[in-house]
Amino acid sequence: MADDIDFSARRADWSSYRDRAQAAGRELLTAVDGITEGISSRRTESEQHGRVPHASVDAMIEAGVFRAFTPLRYGGLETDPASFFEAIMKIAEADSSAAWIGGQLNVHSFEIALMDERMQDEFWGDGPDTRASSSYAPIGKAVAVDGGHRLSGTWTFSSGVDHAQWVVLGGGDRNFVVPRGDFAIDHDSWDVQGLKGTGSKSVTLDDVFVPEYRTHRLVDTYRDTNPGWLVNNRPLYWMSFTGVFNSTPTNTAVGTATGGITTFFEQSKRRFTRQGTGAPVAANPFMHLKLADATTRVRTVRERHLANWRALFELACRGEEAPPLERMRVRFEAADTVATCFDALTEIWPIAGAAASATVNPLQQSFRDLMAARNHGSAGRELAASLYIKTRLGMDPAPFTDLGTLAYYK
């Protein structure tokens, strides 16, 4: 659609771009529908090996998951965010860990698209499905030198790093992009009980030189001087990178909760009480209320989350920028969605039966995966609520200094 239009040129009417992006999103959703059964069949393998199987990653590559935010000029899809988010939700119903890395490894393409064209050429030189993991906490050491920085130290929790060709590392006022040959993965650093298949391992660098063009200076986003806009001057990349990043884990939580509730329904059809009358569990009216409540809560926050991002994309396609109050509302509701999904499954857990505690029971795995997602930094409902309400009250925000404070401004 609209292949003859130069989307890099400035214009007031971006309706053709919006229509093309949404059409690409619908095609992605159709492709994802065709891979979820296979991904689901390998869910146990993700859990056992602490890494999403290569076959599942290959399936996501084939479906176009990792090119959703890749620029058109490199063969990407540039889908609207809501379509991509919905695709991740579908994958999460099959395997939470596959969805988690499907979201995380792709969302960094958005950041790369904001960077120097030389960085983009290197990153997508081998094709549109190039993947980067990340570790944004600035816990390593970066020393400025002529032409760039030298990095040393260990960065933790780099989700999906086994399947990444690059890693994005936090450095306070900037992020560094490092190729796979320049860092070592600590395979013994990942020993958890939730989202085990994400393989969110530590990476270590030893005096690695990172040229300046491979850095994302956060002040460039703060000042609207992203060098990537010279070649990617389109609505998708005008949107808030921090907003997209913080909303990405939410999609896994929604899909995981949806899948968990579906599993609960399926298992309840076959269960009988072991005490008292031995009646079918499905006849219990108290369970009916809990299931109705859990189902409605998850469906409601799912639709709210997708509606928020449809509206933000529509705003960008009108050439408008969402004000801080709107961004902080969406930020809070993304975190609130994760919490609501976790709470919904928690409420029905006590009536799931003893068999739900078995390691091989997918319901138990869904519960653990949601527990892990609830502890992710983006899921901090309390902090997000504070940012939102302070903005509504007209209180002064924290001054821009790093990735965390950037979320308020851009």
Query: What is the distance, to the nearest Å, from the Cα of residue 289 to the centroid of all Cα atoms in its chain?
Result: 32
**Interacting residues of 300 by C-beta distance below 8 A, sequence separation 6+:** none
Residue 1's pLDDT is: 33
Please name which of 94, 100, 105 lies closest in space to residue 35, comparing C-alpha atoms. Answer: 94
Per-residue pLDDT of the chain (410 residues; tens, 9 = 90+): 344 555 555 556 799 999 999 999 999 999 999 999 999 999 999 999 999 999 999 999 999 999 999 999 999 999 999 999 999 999 999 999 999 999 999 999 999 999 999 999 999 999 999 999 999 999 999 999 999 999 999 999 999 999 999 999 999 999 999 999 999 999 999 999 999 999 999 999 999 999 999 999 999 999 999 999 999 999 999 999 999 999 999 999 999 999 999 999 888 887 666 555 566 777 777 789 999 999 999 999 999 999 999 999 999 999 899 999 999 999 999 999 999 999 999 999 988 887 888 888 889 999 999 999 999 988 899 999 999 999 999 999 999 999 989 999 99
First to last CA, the chain: 30
Given 3-state DSSP classes, what are the helix, strand and coil percentages for the chain, each rounded to the nearest 5?
Answer: 60, 10, 30
Residue 268's pLDDT is: 82
Residue 274's pLDDT is: 57
Cα separation, 159 vs 196, in Å, equals 10
The alpha carbon dihedral of 374, 371, 25, 226 has a sign of positive
pTM assigned to the model: 0.93
